[in-house]
Amino acid sequence: MFTTRFAPSPTGYLHKGHAASALTAFEAARAAGGRFLLRIEDIDATRCRPHYEAAIYEDLAWLGVDWETPVRRQSEHLGDYEAALARLEADGLLYRCFRTRKETAEAIASAPHGAMEVFRGGPLPADEAARRLAAGKPFAWRLSLEAAARRLGGFGGLSFVEQGQGEIAARPELGGDLVLARKDIGVAYHLAVAVDDARQGVNHVVRGVDLFEATHVQRLLQALLDLPTPVYRHHPLVLGPDGRRLAKRDGAQTLRDLRERGMSAAELRKELGFG
Ligand code: GLU
């Protein structure tokens, strides 16, 4: 069955861009007689706030979107992400990255062929990594593109279907060796999303084109974790009056502000092309 989702992070109030995303997914599910799920992407406890989560439910209900319950909250499934990470590690696909932000910036600045080469360069020399591990230094887990390519025989066989455009070759290597578990929160966005979309049976991912590159990386994780690949639909972003993409910092555009200023959900839906 057609199953899609809207997956906001409760790090701010929803704005028109989120409304467009939620409505695109919701209407697609409705047209297909399928399922619409809501997922709260709240793994980053340093930035997520309960009142933003409460506002997500309120704003979506106002918009006329309804979703299946229970809602999946990522913070309640950390064990799933740890299990996926452990599997990748057991498969020899990860390495501990002890580099500090400053060291990363310096390594990029001094790299002869630009940043990509740095992250392809892999871990610190083994003795230095062992020294930092023994000293209890914090580390992130990075995916080794080199090991991943070896395991899959290159990335040439990786692709995904973009709705309306057909098959697109995945280029996960463009992002370098990805952080799959952050130093501070023990997990990172891409891994959680790849695991969750599979766990929830999501077979159509509808999201903004700003996440197009994320899809290439998530496609690689699907291959490494034997997860199915959904069909993707990356919709254009809603632009502000200045022609720039909306961001949470543009407070004036939040759905609650629009509502307080007297805009009705019907008017907003119409403006966004869901009349
Ligand atoms: N949580 C992400 C965001 O709010 C969206 C993730 C996704 O749709 O895959 O930008």
* Top-confidence residue, 82 or 240: 82
Residue whose structure tokens are 């004036």: 252
The CATH number of the structural domain formed by 1-76+239-275 is 3.40.50.620
Can you give the pTM of this predicted structure? 0.91
Q: What pLDDT does residue 18 have?
A: 95
Q: What is the C-alpha separation between 149 and 245, in angstroms, rounded? A: 35
* Top-confidence residue, 97 or 104: 97
Of all protein residues, whose CA lies closest to atom 2 belonging to ligand 1? 8
The CATH number of the structural domain formed by 78-200+212-227 is 3.40.50.620
Determine if ligand 1 sits within 6 Å of the CB of residue 7. Answer: yes
Q: What pLDDT does residue 105 have?
A: 75
**Do residues 236 and 209 touch, judged by C-beta distance below 8 A?**
yes
* pLDDT tens digits for range 24-54: 999 999 999 999 999 999 999 999 999 999 9
Q: Which of 12, 110, 85 is nearest to 52 (CA)?
A: 12
| Mean pLDDT taken over the chain | 91
First-to-last C-alpha distance (Å) of the chain: 26
Determine if ligand 1 sits within 6 Å of the CB of residue 71. Answer: no
Q: What is the layout of strands, in order, in the sheet containing 72-73?
A: 3-6, 35-40, 72-73
* pLDDT tens digits for range 160-188: 999 999 999 999 988 888 899 988 888 88
The Å distance, Cα 127 to ligand 1 centre, comes to 38
Residue 232 structure tokens: 């993707």
Q: What pLDDT does residue 252 have?
A: 60
Q: What pLDDT does residue 14 have?
A: 95
* pLDDT tens digits for range 245-263: 776 666 568 999 999 999 9
Q: Indicate the domain borders of the chain.
A: 1-76+239-275, 78-200+212-227
* pLDDT tens digits for range 118-150: 455 568 888 999 999 999 999 999 999 999 999
Q: Which residue out of 9, 39, 206 has the highest number of ligand 1 atoms within 8 Å of its CB and is therefore the one to mutate?
A: 9
Average pLDDT value for residue range 59-69 = 97
The Å distance, Cα 126 to ligand 1 centre, comes to 35
* pLDDT tens digits for range 219-240: 999 999 999 999 999 999 888 7
Q: Which atom of ligand 1 is nearest to the CA of 218?
A: 9
pLDDT surpasses 60 at 115: no
* Buried-state track 227-263, b at ≥16 Cβ within 10 A, e below 16: bebbbbbbbebbebeeeeebebebeebbbeebbeeee
Shared fold status for 1-76+239-275 and 78-200+212-227: yes
pLDDT surpasses 80 at 114: no
Q: What pLDDT does residue 275 have?
A: 77
| 3-state class percentages of the chain: helix first, strand second, coil last, to nearest 5 | 45, 15, 35
Q: What pLDDT does residue 251 have?
A: 59
Q: Which atom of ligand 1 is nearest to the CA of 6?
A: 8
Q: What pLDDT does residue 219 have?
A: 98
Q: Is the dihedral of CA 229, 235, 240, 244 positive or negative?
A: positive
Determine if ligand 1 sits within 6 Å of the CB of residue 211. Answer: yes
> Which residues neighbour 29 within 8 Å (Cβ) at sequence distance 6 or greater?
2, 3, 4, 35, 36
Q: Which residue out of 14, 207, 221 has the highest number of ligand 1 atoms within 8 Å of its CB and is therefore the one to mutate?
A: 207
Of all protein residues, whose CA lies closest to atom 6 belonging to ligand 1? 7
Q: What pLDDT does residue 235 have?
A: 93
